Structure 1
Amino acid sequence: MTMEEDKTNTCGTICLKYLLLTFNLLFWLAGGAVMAVGIWTLVDKSDYISLLASSTYSAAAYILILAGAVVIVTGAIGCCATIKEQRGFLIVYFVLLLLIFLLEITAGVLAYIYHQELSDELRADLKETMVQQYQQPGQDHVTRAVDRLQQDMKCCGSSNSSDWDDGAWIHALAGGRRVPDSCCKTPSERCGRRDHPSNIYKVEGGCIRKLEEFVLHHLLVLGCVAIGIAFLQLMGMVFTCCLYHSLKEDPY
């Protein structure tokens, strides 16, 4: 073995290479987890997103999906850079890690900000969306979302079932119903004509509270995953810098 090979394969450099390879394996797994959380956030009862006035919720999820996709490419570059000991690849790898770190911090911050604003937004906008757009022309997506929300969450109206008294739907399309059929505990044709608690859902806080709990749960998972994996990437950036400087010190 030549002196150059001895210096290139010092114990410290070899340890750093194995650490970085191990990190890349964990990084790929983390990337899959990030994409899965982003997709789950969008797909799980995705109709509900149409009832939210702000796009922050879906934006944070899309950022996580993008970050997860970039992780897959970044992991491959990291492995090549580590095995081949290419300082140029290490620089590209570090920059991509930094980009993903910033994306995930952004997603986490958006989740936190929206978490703070969610209650006020729902109270300001949900009733208007539900009772004024339900079964109106061009609002099929809102109608589906409202029906699914009331059935899945076992609620009726934004705050309570009497919210439907103010809606455009009840004056033109209700056909004698007091509430939509999706408010019924056992839905059937025109079951909404009787709004007694034995027939329809009477939930304290109405659908606002139910939807808020649902979105807050998703935001908590989304934010924790984003921030947690972002700090994992800090370790990768440290390992990359150490390996870069270790190789830089070796003669070529």
Structure 2
Amino acid sequence: MAGVSGCIKYSMFIFNFFFWVCGTLILALAIWIRVSEDGKEILTSSGDSSANPFVAVNILIAVGSIIMVLGFLGCCGAVKESRCMLLLFFIGLLLILLLQVAAGILGAAFKSESSRILNETLYADVKLLSETSDNGKEFREALTLFQKEFQCCGLVKGAADWGNNFQQISQSCKCTNNVQNSCIQYESTFVYNQTCLSLIKDLVEKHIIIVIAIAFGLAVIEILGLVFSMVLYCQIGSK
């Protein structure tokens, strides 16, 4: 009868040990943010006050816990040659992989819809730029920093989007090098001709591509984990 491959056994252990360590770090960080005063300060000071700032932290706690449990099952299943633990590890990892595939399919199916919603949201937010009240203050501050970093001005109509607020943010729109008609004059100030709308959309698309690449890399690792666990499971059964 065939024995258990030591290479697969210890490869499985090392793989799941790092898997467990990653889950522990994610869980520890999420719990620290959730319970510590410093963490609460960070959450409440950044983000929309109308949204629950702890939703993302709760998700991280759940993800970290699941990764820890799966890593533990994989490590113990490999070392103790437990078919039950390896089977539970296989099922858990398979469910995660299926959820990733489902999320990818839904993301691809609703990509055009997401682009439309983003476009409509940005067009709706234009009116916040010319307001002088606290409404939309965070958005104005964020766009001011974005303008300075990415050398653009306004969202749709350029500097005119800012209305009476233009003089307050003019430095972030100020254009110093007029290369290939990149600058135009507005209220005696040379500002960037490029609006920020298209740049924001391009940036979002680039981040989506990065997320897809990370998800693809995780899927490859998960498939390897599934293969190793099933091979080890079968080898233990045939001992």
* Map of 2:226 onto structure 1: 237
Segment of structure 1 superposing worse, 118-127 or 76-85: 118-127
* Map of 2:73 onto structure 1: 77
Deviation readout 1:207-251 (Å, 9 max, x if unpaired):
11111121111111111110221132112112212222222233x
Task: Report percent identity of matched pairs.
Answer: 28
**C-alpha distance in 2, partners of 1:111/1:148?**
29
* Map of 1:23 onto structure 2: 15
* Map of 1:93 onto structure 2: 89
- Kept in 2, the 8 Å contact 1:157–1:163? The answer is yes
Deviation readout 1:177-231 (Å, 9 max, x if unpaired):
4784364227xxxxxxx7269622111xx21111112111111111111022113
Match of 2:147 among 147, 150, 156: 150
Unaligned runs of 5+ in 2: 28-45, 49-54, 176-184
- Kept in 1, the 8 Å contact 2:21–2:68? The answer is no
Q: How many residues are aligned here?
A: 205
Give the letter aligned to residue 67 of structure 2.
V
* Map of 1:120 onto structure 2: 116
Aligned-residue RMSD, C-alpha: 4.0
Question: Structure 1 110/15 Cα, relative in aligned 2: closer, same or farther at 3 Å?
Answer: same
Aligned partner of residue 155 in structure 2, secondary structure? coil
1:25 Cα shift? 5.3
Unaligned runs of 5+ in 1: 1-6, 36-46, 51-58, 187-193
Match of 2:204 among 196, 208, 215: 215
- Kept in 1, the 8 Å contact 2:23–2:65? The answer is yes
Whether 1:228 aligns to 2:220 is no
1:155 Cα shift? 1.2
- Kept in 2, the 8 Å contact 1:64–1:103? The answer is no
Question: Structure 1 87/11 Cα, relative in aligned 2: closer, same or farther at 3 Å?
Answer: closer
**C-alpha distance in 2, partners of 1:65/1:227?**
23
Deviation readout 1:101-149 (Å, 9 max, x if unpaired):
2343345445545654454334323122132365444432222222222
Aligned partner of residue 200 in structure 1, secondary structure? strand
Whether 1:195 aligns to 2:195 is no
Aligned partner of residue 191 in structure 2, secondary structure? coil
* Map of 2:237 onto structure 1: 248
Q: TM-score, normalised by structure 2?
A: 0.65
